[in-house]
Amino acid sequence: MREIEVGILQIMGRFQYDEVDYVIDDRSYPTTLTSLAIKEYLGERGIDSEVCILVPESLVEMLSEDVSQASQLLSESSKFRERVAERTGYDVECLIIPSIGEYGKKYKIVFEGSIENTICVIFKKLVEKDFDVVYADVSTGLNIYTVAMVEALRRYITYKKLKSILKKPDFDFKLVFLPPLNKEVHIEFQDIDVMAFFSLPKVNVYRICKTNAKDINIKYNKLLRGLKNCMESLKIAFNSIKMNTPLAFYHKEILDFKIDIDGIESELIYLIEDALKPTITMDRGMVVRRRVLDSKNIANIFYSLGLLRNIKEFQEGLDEPELDKICESFEELYTKLGLGSNIKFLQNDVESIKKNVGDGFIGLYIECFQSGNGKMHGSQDKKRNFFAHSGFLREYTFVERRGNDITVRWDEKRLGEIKGWIQSPE
């Protein structure tokens, strides 16, 4: 079983902080950063945690002698991180986050971009780390970066919940607050949470970037086509669940989950990193430009991948399409998703099949309703009746009964039509 991953986030506003006695549960932890105090506090309780310091790029001026050295550090994030570690002495992970605005006392630095980029970088790091518990310290750093961290955390919580919507997740997310600093400061934790609903995120896979998107879309065309296929599979799976047509999960021609979601997610993270590489020019100082990412759309893509991963795991646990087994699996699914009405309709339709199909029968379900003259009365509106009866349309559903075991499947000749109905149920 996977161990719970715990992360502690803090924005760095400067490289030197005075030592303070941080108090948690009446225990004092003398150190320079609240994140370090929290790590020690958790360690005393047998909880391993990882501190991640978020360093705005604008602090590069404090690490460089001139604009040329600053340009080199901004171009090579690994060297930037090394210099931060050397300057602070902290043995923690360091994430360089994009800045915006004009800075500089030694020389002018202008960062052109958007706070959306900052949100996206922090969100991406959280996804990579896959933390189950997060302490987000809002006591240090400029307000704009603190707000970006909180917004990224809210989106990450949504992602984690959708990724585990069919399970019983053990998550805990907290904001860390401090009163004005004195020699002794009591740390306060407050829960942060969001509501995550079973809904289909609105996604445009070709809008990762709001500006200068053409070259990125061409370069990563294969990945974006793969993402589009993922979104199409998710739509069919989502509609099948919402519209109560469980047999879709038993026909690979309709719902095929041969998708490497982890691989696609990793490639997407690489795309984001590539798209955010800065262009640096010297113009009476330094100008750092980045294309602007669509952070909300990117978050929706990750939400979709998380939801798709969860549904794929459900599908992989299904057995043969035997009526009682279908009922058992989908009643549990509908209960977790709050789709109680689907349970009632599915039970009614399953009971109807059991009642009307005799032992030893093999054939289309409609054959069980032949009139005395041999005529079989079909549906006047097939699509409506398909969704009205849990997808068990008489004309399109094959049934085989052996005692109490009743297996069902759709007519292979009708799968294309049925797939079209599920894609567009309106």
The secondary structure of 272-323 as a DSSP string is HHHHT--EEE-SSSEEEE-PPB-HHHHHHHHHHHHHHHHHHHHHHT----BH
Give the count of alpha carbons within 13 A of 162, CB side only: 28
Which residues lie closer than 8 Å to 6 by C-beta, 6 or more apart? Answer: 42, 47, 48, 49, 50, 131, 132, 133, 134, 135
- What pLDDT digit, counting tens, does each position of 72-106 carry? 999 998 999 999 999 998 989 999 999 999 988 77
| Range 226-247 average pLDDT | 97
Q: Are strands 109-112 and 362-364 parallel, antiparallel or unpaired?
A: unpaired
Q: What pLDDT, on a 0 to 100 scale, did the predictor assign at position 374?
A: 54
Helix, strand, coil percentages, rounded to 5, for the chain: 45, 20, 35
What's the distance, CA 191 to chain centroid? 20
Position 138 scores a pLDDT of: 94
Q: What is the mean pLDDT of residues 35-55?
A: 96
- Which pLDDT score, from 0 to 100, does residue 182 have? 72
pLDDT band at 50 (very low <50, low <70, confident <90, very high): very high
- Residue 105 has what pLDDT? 79
Over residues 12-24, the pLDDT tens digits come to: 998 888 899 999 9
Q: Average pLDDT for residues 162-170, to the nearest whole number?
A: 86
Q: Which of 10-14, 104-108, 412-416 shows the lowest mean pLDDT across its residues?
A: 104-108
List strand residue ranges (DSSP E) for 27-80, in order. Answer: 27-31, 50-56
Q: What mean pLDDT is reported for the chain?
A: 93
Could you give the CA distance from residue 277 to residue 280 in angstroms, rounded to a whole number? 10
